[in-house]
Structure 1
Amino acid sequence: MRIVEAALRLFGERGFEGASTRDIAKEAGVNAPALQYYFDNKEGVYIACVEHFVARVWEYLAAPVSAAQATLANPDADDSDLIEAYLGLQGCFVSFLSDSPEARDWQLFMARERAGLGPPSAFAVIDERLNRRLFPVTASIIGRLTGRKPTDDVTKIRTIAIDSQVAVFRMFRRNVLSALEWETIGPKEMAQLGDVIFEQTRVLLLAFVAARDAQQGAARD
């Protein structure tokens, strides 16, 4: 764990190419042969960082994802239930970024990873263990609320845009601090961001429902 935490910091600060196994071993307080023994090489250390990140995120998401899946499977669930299920998922992202002491290190690490600056094997882990477990759920909710199939390109684009609302405030930290004239993004600031994002998401989803109903009504006429 100590090696992974040190590697997350250095990979976040210097990138995959810039952080050496020697630097990571020194930061973790172990010798380089020990690091190679446990992780084989630098890519192995990086993958361990990704697996740790995914595991921690899923601790926050497992329950609301299950709840959202149950709502989707419930034939009596209405639009309001679907909206609340989505907001429950969104709230967990806010909690994850607010409550996790490692949030800053993860933010830098994942900003580089999402920019495609890590090894392809790392994205495969994130895609299989996180994206493919979460995205079908959020896309299904957005699809139901807009009257489109979850596999429709428009639904996918909308889902990606809405799902990314919380993360963008961490990924573009400097821009946010400058625009809002804040010194930091701590629990208080994240709570304010969360309130605004939740309100905005609710208004947007309700607008989708209204547009869907209007379109369906016009089609019947």
Structure 2
Amino acid sequence: MTSMRRHQAQNGYPRGEETKAKIIRTSIALFGEEGFAGVSTREIANAAGVPPPSIQYYFGNKEGLYDACLEDIQASASAAVSPALEKVEELLAADATADRLIDGYCNVLESLADFLLGAPDAASRALFVAQLRAASSPPRKSEAKRAVGRRIQEGCAAVVSHISGHNLTDEEARMVCTMVNGQLFIIHVARGHVGELIGWDEITPARIESLKTVLRKQTTVILNSHRPK
């Protein structure tokens, strides 16, 4: 096996990272369309334009490939949202005013909107995430894969709690930020149906900017409603 892999690395896989990225992009799209059980590694390899043994070489098996897709989505999400989250964490540590915290919260949601809706493969990722919760999808192998989502939830809940003067319980703060963030996630996960309701035939950059404007206004109203009277 070692000699075969050495031979493949020298002759069959001259651009390893490029090939891996191509396989992952193709897999996210196909897993999203068909589910984990609905597509074979051979079909993925054919769609990606690589030899079928490439899957085993780079990922070990189908489960390893699926896991790599999850890691890729989480890494991309972290890169997109981390700057805004870090700013919110700094504001919380500095005991910033409610207005600055609300602005920081809105910046997190806007960064998330760009990632969830604006990237070329955003639709494929949305379908993948929807399939992730289906019975045919394998379970997540690591709690680390939820690190980005947990960090967003914890940061947003902390902002809500701070704005309320810490008059909300932890559970109430989590409920508020879950419903606030749900404004965006419903469009991400059910983008086709929501598009019909809004009247969008496609999600364009201009429409994302309009969405972010509305998202900021509504989020500001909701968070201000939890300030101490």
Fold shared, TM-score > 0.5 on shorter chain: yes
- For these two proteins, the number of residue pairs brought into alignment is 209
Unaligned runs of 5+ in 1: 215-221
TM-score under structure 2 length normalisation: 0.84
Q: 1:38 and 2:58 equivalent?
A: yes
**Corresponding position of 2:14:** none
In structure 2, which of residues 177, 200, 203 is the aligned counterpart of residue 182 of structure 1? Answer: 200
Contact 2:117 2:188 in 1 (8 A): no
CA distance in structure 1 between the partners assigned to 2:81 and 2:219 by the alignment: 18
SS class of match (2:36): helix
- Distance in 1 between residues matched to 2:32 and 2:189, nearest whole Å: 12
Runs of 4+ with >4 A deviation: 114-117
Q: Which ranges of structure 2 fall in alignment gaps of 5 or more residues? A: 1-20
Map 1:46-85; keep pairs closer than 5 Å: 46-75=66-95, 77-85=96-104
Q: Residue by residue, what CA displacement relative to the aligned partner does 1:14-63 show, whole Å, maximum 9, x if unpaired? A: 01111211111111112222211211111111111111111111111111
In 1: Cα distance, 2:98 partner to 2:221 partner: 13
Cα displacement string for residues 85-134 of structure 1 (whole angstroms, at most 9, x for unaligned residues)? 1011011012213431111111111122245653222573431x312322
For 1:66 and 1:159, the matched residues in 2 are separated by 17
Deviates more, 1:155-164 or 1:142-151: 142-151
Contact between 2:84 and 2:107, CA under 8 Å: does it hold in 1? Answer: yes
Query: Over aligned residue pairs, what C-alpha RMSD do you find?
Result: 1.9
Distance in 2 (CA, whole Å) between partners of 1:133 and 1:203 is 23
Match of 1:109 in 2: 128
**TM-score, structure 1 length as denominator?**
0.87
Q: Are 1:148 and 1:155, in contact at CA under 8 Å, matched by a contact in 2? A: no
8 Å CA contact retained: 1:139, 1:150? no
Which residue among 167, 175, 182 is the counterpart of 1:157?
Answer: 175
**In 2: Cα distance, 1:138 partner to 1:61 partner:** 13
SS of residue paired to 2:193: helix
Aligned to 1:219: none
Aligned residue identity for 1:187: P
1:147 CA drift (Å):
3.4
Identity of matched residues, % = 31
Match for 1:48: what amino acid?
A
